[in-house]
Chains A and B, each alone.
Chain A
Amino acid sequence: MYGIGLAKGFLVTLKVFFRKPFTVQYPEERLVQHPRFRGEEFVWYEERCTGCASCAKYCPLGIIKIVTHPSDEKPLEGGFYDIDVFDIDIGRCMFCGLCVEACPYDALFMGSGFEEGQYNRRDLVISADRLRVAEKHPSTWYRPQLEERGYNPHKDPPVSWEQVGRENSLTHLSSRPAKIQEYDKRNQP
């Protein structure tokens, strides 16, 4: 009979008509994101970063710019470099996360937001100063220690550099906060 297929189609549309809409009204409501979401801003802990530039080497696009100079903290015995420039250009970043995968010291994490739009392309380059003062809600992508704790970057408070790593003790990092303060004071204009 000719119209039966059409009638079935009409029934389907009518059924869908009475359902609640699937829309999420942004910006009043937002989609629920998983803690593993690879967001736009980055989370960088200067206390843990040695300046090894593995992240810059591993980036497929080469957008991380790192300039360091050797510090006076036992440089030949595996000390930390002082970091002058640490720029990530999120205007060209594709958020693949290979830099996070490369970092051996758990110093770089993916962020968890997606609203980093700016009015100028110059402002899309995140400098070290911005990374230092930003609130640190790291995504749990490729960081199983955060996932085991059940950390949710969208709801839980920020994580400090002592709690974010995988190691059992922090003695090798104990001199870092003082070193960083001294470095900042030396570089104050």
Chain B
Amino acid sequence: MPLKTEPITVNIGPQHPSTHGVFRIRVTFDGEVIIDVDPVFGYLHRGSEKLAEERTYTQVITLTDRLDYVSSMTNNQAYVLACEKLADIKAPERGMYLRVIAAELQRIASHLVATGFLVNDLGALATPLMYCFREREKILDLFEMLCGARVTLTYMRVGGVFQDAPEDFWVFLKRFLEEMPFHIDEYEQLISENEIILMRTKGVGILSSSTAINGSVSGPVLRSTGYSWDLRKADPYEVYDRFDFDVVVGEQGDNYDRYKIRINEMRQSLRILNQCVEQIAPGPVRTNSPLLFRPPVGEAYAHVESPKGELGFYIVSDGGVAPYRFKIRSPSFINLTILRELVVGLKLADMIVAFGSIDVNMGEVDR
């Protein structure tokens, strides 16, 4: 006589040590294998899109900082590019180089956070997390030199960057670029060949590239399936077409590939930063645009390669000082749509790791 079992539904609630923010998942188990996943989010909704309709274009930059609060610079960059497209302005050369430097530093910082928390979810008692955050402190000190704040930066403006970098910024940046490869090697030595991590992440959470493309997934998650798509090469914006760097592509689409892609992307960012430091020339950093920016009537969409995927802003302007419609295409929100295909069939412990390897930021998901 077969044993009658029934599946149970467990609520991994908004307050949980490892859901990367306020995120609620209702999981249905059969024993320890997951058969259904029902995500519930919206706990961090702050109404950014509506608030932006009542603020001027420069004030909206402060709103965009707080979307993906781990990587503020790329949010600023995407929004400012959209505004410049509306009004047909182009930033000066040095401004664009400084933007690229800021964005690549922010990419390293965001990947450090993602890697640290992924290995923390695996149970390594926060040791790699502490090492990653130690390096992130150095990047935040660099940001403090650039714009006076560490996390919510408001560094870019329409028409360029806010202010030029001070003299000691270049000294610290060169020192950081010399030290960082050694630290990345240290993380790799601690994590990449660790048999326990290999056992837990290889072959787990496999995503096929057709599922990813059908789900509009972008960023490291898409590249881990083997499909090479990076906006910095496919649709170059600013001065990215002058740099020589590789697009890091995975093979199988499992958790280990996503972790490895982030580590290698950090190395590529260091390469871009080295080339920036060599190529940058003195000059103005901001065009002469008025303080109260008033674009002509129209609409524009601009996208950048943020550390989590393709971040885009769609702005409709009616000629006033505030945007008429401000829509955010956030990568984490769209990457979450494949959660069910990724997770069904795994065990609970693996689900937490798979969710962590997608690298979701709830500020972006809920806006």
Contacts and interface: CB of A to CB of B under 8 A. Distances in A.
Contact of B190 (A9, A141, A142): A9
Contacts of A13: 127, 190
B194 A36 contact: no
A76 interface: no
Contacts of A36: 144-148, 166
A45 B191 CA distance: 54
Interface stretch (B55-63, B301-309, B358-366): B55-63
A139 B193 contact: no
A133 interface: no
Contacts of A34: 141, 144-145, 148, 166, 168
A83 to B, nearest CB: 22
A11 to B, nearest CB: 8
B244 interface: no
A38 B144 CA distance: 9
B6 interface: no
Contacts of A58: 58-59, 291
- Tell me whether chain B's interface is mostly helix, strand or loop, or mixed: helix
Contact of B55 (A11, A12, A60, A144): A60
A12 B148 contact: no
A164 B231 CA distance: 45
Contacts of B149: 37-38, 95
Contacts of B193: 4-5, 8
B198 interface: yes
Interface string A31-53: 00110111000000000000000
A8 B189 contact: yes
A5 B198 contact: yes
Nearest to A59: B59
A102 B186 CA distance: 46
A142 B195 contact: no
Nearest to A15: B186
In the A-B complex, the 5 residue pairs with the smallest Cβ-Cβ separation, listed nearest first, are A5-B193, A60-B59, A38-B148, A36-B148, A12-B190
28 contacts: A2-B195, A3-B195, A5-B193, A5-B194, A5-B195, A5-B198, A6-B194, A8-B193, A9-B189, A9-B190, A9-B191, A11-B189, A12-B189, A13-B127, A22-B137, A34-B144, A34-B168, A36-B145, A38-B148, A58-B59, A60-B62, A60-B63, A94-B152, A98-B58, A101-B291, A110-B148, A141-B147, A141-B163
Given A3-B195, A9-B189, A36-B147, 9 more contacts: A4-B193, A9-B190, A12-B189, A13-B127, A33-B144, A37-B144, A38-B149, A58-B58, A101-B162
